[in-house]
């Protein structure tokens, strides 16, 4: 029993160190995530900039990316071996952002769950949280794809997506599965990102449809329960009235 007990104590100490690490790095990583997104946006949206400004942007992105690599490595190392699979499942964004740093800003949206106004466990409160978080993820998803496609397409032969406005318009049209065809990617990577955006559009529309169905189902169920309750109350009132009449002299 002693080896198992010692192993459990070591795992608890490691978990405690990991908790302190997460607490200490939370706000710096939030700042780096925002900084990376802003720097990447500037790099993608503006094409003509001074050389020193471009170097500054690349340095900021490099520092943030290095932090995104170090953070999951430290967390995994401080996680008990028996719990690492659960950690991977719960922190996929942090793990994948070590390879694709543009994914890291998506982790910021998790903090919406603790924002004021999203408390409660009722159906309406749950739907409000789902709608707000889904809308935030969808907006971030569309924006990231748009600026990435702009960066990939700009300068390519025959490219039609040459400005931020055109990229954003194309992204919204594509995610809505409309596809006017006025702006289309011509590079292989741009088309691959377009496929990802189309798939995301199907997921977004499916989620919205499920929320609407859930809301209507709850409203219809509530109406039916109210409709059944009223005749029952009327019947009970009638029985009580008859009983009072029988007792009267």
For 52-78, how does the pLDDT look when each residue is reduced to its tens digit (9 = 90+)? 999 999 999 999 999 999 999 999 999
* In contact, 101 and 65? CB cutoff 8 Å: yes
pTM of the model: 0.78
Confidence of residue 87 (pLDDT cuts 50, 70, 90): confident
Q: Do 232 and 132 share a domain, yes or no?
A: yes
The DSSP result for 118-166, as a single string, is: ----SHHHHHHHHHHHHHHHHHHHHHHHHHHHHHHHTTSTT----SHHH
Q: Mean pLDDT across the stretch 200-220?
A: 76
Ranking 45-54, 79-88, 223-232 by mean pLDDT, the lowest is 223-232
**Better-scored residue on pLDDT, 205 or 166:** 166
Confidence of residue 239 (pLDDT cuts 50, 70, 90): very low
Residue 2 pLDDT more than 60? no
Ranking 59-68, 183-192, 230-239 by mean pLDDT, the lowest is 230-239
- Please tell me the total count of domains within the chain: 2
Q: Mean pLDDT across the stretch 18-35?
A: 93
Domain boundary pick from 108, 142, 177: 108
Across 141-171, b (16+ Cβ under 10 Å) vs e yields bbbbbbbbbbbbbbeeeebebeeeebbbbbb
Host domain of residue 151: 115-249
As a whole number of angstroms, the distance between CA 67 and CA 117 comes to 32
Q: Do 104 and 143 share a domain, yes or no?
A: no
Domain boundary pick from 108, 143, 166: 108
Domain boundary pick from 93, 108, 123: 108
Q: Do 32 and 104 share a domain, yes or no?
A: yes
* In contact, 109 and 136? CB cutoff 8 Å: yes
Residues whose CB falls within 8 Å of the CB of residue 154, separated by 6 or more in sequence, listed in order: 47, 161, 162
Residue 82: DSSP 8-state: G
Q: Do 5 and 41 share a domain, yes or no?
A: yes
- Among 98-112, 217-231, 234-248, name the most confident range: 98-112
As a whole number of angstroms, the distance between CA 97 and CA 106 comes to 10
Confidence of residue 232 (pLDDT cuts 50, 70, 90): very low
CATH number for 163? 1.10.287.70
Q: Mean pLDDT across the stretch 154-162?
A: 91
- Among 99-103, 135-139, 207-211, name the most confident range: 99-103
Q: Do 135 and 101 share a domain, yes or no?
A: no
What angle, rounded to 10 degrees, do the helices at 123-153 and 2-45 form? 50
Q: Do 199 and 126 share a domain, yes or no?
A: yes
Neighbours of 106 (CB within 10 A): 20
pLDDT for res 64: 97
Q: Do 137 and 210 share a domain, yes or no?
A: yes
Q: Do 80 and 4 share a domain, yes or no?
A: yes
Q: Do 99 and 124 share a domain, yes or no?
A: no
Residue 207 pLDDT more than 50? yes
Q: Do 238 and 171 share a domain, yes or no?
A: yes
């Amino acid at each position: 029993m002693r080896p198992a007990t010692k192993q459990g104590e070591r795992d608890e100490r490691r978990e405690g160190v990991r908790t302190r690490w997460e607490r200490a790095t939370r706000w710096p990583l939030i700042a780096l995530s925002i900084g990376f997104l802003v720097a990447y946006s500037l790099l993608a949206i503006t094409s003509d900039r001074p050389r020193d400004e471009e170097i500054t942007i690349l340095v900021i992105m490099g520092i943030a990316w290095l932090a995104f690599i170090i953070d999951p490595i430290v967390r995994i190392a401080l996680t008990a071996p028996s719990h690492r699979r659960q950690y991977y499942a719960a922190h996929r964004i942090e793990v994948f952002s070590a390879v694709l740093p543009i994914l890291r800003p998506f982790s910021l949206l998790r903090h919406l769950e603790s924002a004021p106004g999203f408390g409660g466990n009722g159906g309406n409160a749950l739907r409000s949280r789902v709608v707000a978080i889904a809308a935030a993820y969808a907006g971030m998803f569309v924006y990231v794809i748009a600026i990435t496609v702009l960066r990939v397409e700009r300068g390519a032969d025959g490219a039609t997506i040459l400005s931020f406005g055109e990229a954003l318009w194309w992204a919204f049209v594509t995610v809505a599965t409309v596809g006017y065809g006025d702006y289309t990617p011509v590079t292989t990577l741009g088309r691959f990102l377009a496929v990802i955006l189309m798939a995301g559009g199907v997921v977004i529309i499916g989620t919205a449809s499920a929320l609407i169905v859930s809301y209507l189902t709850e409203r219809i169920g509530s109406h039916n329960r109210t409709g059944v309750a009223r005749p029952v109350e009327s019947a009970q009132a009638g029985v009580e009235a008859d009983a009072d009449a029988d007792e009267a002299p």
